[in-house]
Amino acid sequence: MKKTIVTLAGLALIALSGAAFADEQIAIGKKIYDRAFGRGCGTCHDISSNPQLTANIKAGTLTRATFEEVITNGRGGMPKALDEIMKNKAVADAGYGKDQALDALYKYLETK
């Protein structure tokens, strides 16, 4: 019985820290989206004639791999954005590397 309670408490803690991590990722992703290039990715992407990132992720046409490729190398009117993302204060404060920063941004866009 005691063991069960300890196990349950442990599971609850794991679930809670998982949720806290997801919240942190989304918060950092939002800061990147709002602040990159001074005015944020939305300066271009909240305009309907440019790719709608959240809609494309939800539709399955913008995979995590394409996302990374376009951000890293740029494409047409889309500037290379990786350096800009890594300069973000929230990313630096969290000690995120490139993959973690892109994961956070993708996760934020999935929920936006």
Residue type, 81: A
Strand partners, 78: 75
- Least distance in angstroms from the C-beta of 110 to ligand HEC: 12
Q: Per this entry, what is the length of the chain?
A: 112
- Residue from 26, 28, 62, 91 touching ligand HEC (CB under 6 A): that is 62
Single out the residue of 26, 28, 30, 67 in contact with ligand HEC (rule: CB under 6 A): 67
Binding mask 7-36 for ligand HEC (x = CB under 6 A): -----------------------------x
* 17 vs 66 by CB, closer to ligand HEC: 66
90 lies in the binding site for ligand HEC (CB under 6 A): no
Name the DSSP letter for residue 112.
-
DSSP 30-67: HHHHHHTTTT-THHHHTSTTS--HHHHHHHTSS-HHHH
